[in-house]
Amino acid sequence: MPTDSPGIGGNRASRAAPGATIGGRYSLRAAVGHGGMGTVWRASDVLLRRDVAVKEVVLPPGLAPSDRDSMYERTMREARAAAALQHPSVVQVYDVVQENGRPWIVMELLDARSLADMVIEDGPVAARAVAKIGIALLGALEIAHANGVLHRDVKPANVLICADGRCVLTDFGVARMPTDVQLTTPGMVLGSPHFISPERAMGQDFGPPSDLFSLGVTLYTAVEGRPPFDKGDPIETMHAVVEDPPAPTSRAGVLNDVLMGLLEKDPARRYDVATARSMLRELLAGPLASKAPAHMMTDPYAVVPAQRSPWQPVAPPPERPTGQIGGRAMLAPGESLTERLSNGQPVPAAPGLQTPTGQMPTQTWGQQPPAPPSGGGAVAGLKRRGGDLVDTVRGWPRKLQLGVAGGLAVVLIVIGFVAFSGGDDQPTQPVAQSGGPSSAPSAADFPTQVHALRGVSVNVPKGWKRAGGGKSVYYDYIDPDDSGRKVRILVEDASSKATPSGFLAAAERGLKSNSKSCPKPYKRVDLREGQIDGRVSGELEYTCGEERHGVWGAVINGGHAYSFFLTSTEDRFAASKPIFDEMVRSFQLVAN
């Protein structure tokens, strides 16, 4: 069924009620989705005796009458434009009616769930299925662009995977004709910063290549389980979209080239529909060819095997994975960004800070977790965050400041709303003050080798196998005789206000939230301050479950966080601790 992704304007109360009749023929039965611009209802067409989806358009409160009328007229234009699109991968618009002075859009009802829900609930999607989803959505965008329509909001929440395997692009209700005046709403700014194209983020003219960039982000998110430019807040993410390369892929495999082609910053060099589709078809005929027997092949429009209809009674679903899939960009099913901010909940930490085990995460270069508030709890933290965003944007190039100025204003308005709407402040946990790395250990009594990369020189065990590097933020050295014992050196961007203890406290939140990488129960042994290389440092010691033990040190210098940790099984930790002590003793910041 068509559903809207939650956003800042999401979950507003509907003005209609079950049993109401719209346009003299559509009887509302139950609300099945809420979004920033209204509610989607399951309804019955009493004339044709079929089930339909009816989108009730509800605008944000406080709009001037002229703005409200303009938005309603725009909605009517867009609905008419969407109704002209005929393609198996475009949700079909049946009718547009006026009721109580407002437009209602009547669409086909689909037994489906969104690609966003699939990624959050089930984890990354198989590469073959993602390739087929890509071909389906390329066809939808091709027909839309041929009719002069830009979608403007291609993202996993607007991609529906039906029970029969069909893939459909929905919510052309935020699409616009290229000649229309652009209108930005809070939901659009905060709902989709990870999927916006660089040219749109900078306020430049855009066209069909902009939708193709968003498609690239969508496919990347599906196969990797996380967006390629996730920085934890909308403004920093928009900056990364414009300036930073995508995070290296770890699951995409043969899809990597086509993803990078769609994520090209320059719209003139970005892959077009024909190029991307040709590459995906070649992959489906070659490396991603189906191994299923002929009688098990799906029909041409199915991207996944047909599933049982969600309207039929089913057994209770199996327990869902406990780890948050999709990084900070992907909200939980039914959760809106408004709810997360108003509840004062910390945003889940980045994947790279959730995995101090033998597992190898993928992490975005320059990804820095937010430092915890020094006092005042959630409300004060949000206030400080607004100031930090302003300071951050001031340091950007002038053209980028102008491009995101509107979005920053919206962010600060939202933060102000949350800050002054109440809520209990939560005291921060005090940092234990004790010895720590300031007492220099003696030189190692085991063979070492020097790691000297990215401004860091530090001794690590000789003969341990190196991994990571390239575009990653980390380097691993793994015990060749015990893959569960390793050290990791990380270099990440840090704000001017970050502290070593704050960095490690943020890393700790990531450890607590990822039971797969750090089995529960997580337990802090100590978090203390000291000195490394003559600089103030922090040291976090922790355990994961009954089997894992780790220790993590960090310093902040020159806009970067330099950290390293050791992790091993509990029974080998005492014997392994001298390795960490040697890293503390030998650690130096050097010129690149």
- Catalytic residue numbers read 153
Using a 10 angstrom Cβ sphere, with 0-12 exposed, 13-18 middle and 19 or more buried, the burial of residue 43 is buried
How many other C-beta atoms can be found within 10 angstroms of the C-beta atom of residue 123? 14
Using a 10 angstrom Cβ sphere, with 0-12 exposed, 13-18 middle and 19 or more buried, the burial of residue 360 is middle
In 288-371, alpha helices (H): 337-342
425: phi then psi, degrees, rounded to nearest 5? -80, 140
Using a 10 angstrom Cβ sphere, with 0-12 exposed, 13-18 middle and 19 or more buried, the burial of residue 545 is middle
Rounded Cα distance between 419 and 341, Å, is 9
Q: Evaluate whether 61 touches 274 at the Cβ level (below 8 Å).
A: no
For residue 521, say if its preceding peptide bond is cis, omega within 30 degrees of 0.
Answer: yes
What is the C-alpha radius of gyration for the chain, rounded to an integer number of angstroms? Answer: 26
471 among annotated binding-site residues = no
CB under 8 A, 24+ apart: contacts of 571-575:
572/482, 572/485, 573/549
Nearest C-alpha neighbor of 265 from the set 212, 312, 191: 212
In sequence order, the β-bridge partners of residue 552 are 540, 565
How many other C-beta atoms can be found within 10 angstroms of the C-beta atom of residue 365? 19
3-state secondary structure 295-310: HHCCCCCECCCCCCCC
| In the block, residue with structure tokens 């406080």 | 62
Could you tell me the two tokens for 131? 């390739």
Q: Which are the contacts of 374, defined by CB distance < 8 A and separation ≥ 6?
A: 428, 502
C-alpha torsion sign, points 95, 191, 63, 422: positive
- The sheet with strand 159-162 has its strands ordered as 112-114, 159-162, 167-169
Q: How far is CA 394 from CA 186, 229, 391, 404, in A?
A: 21, 20, 5, 11
Annotated binding residues, written as ranges, equal 55
Known binding residues for ATP: 55
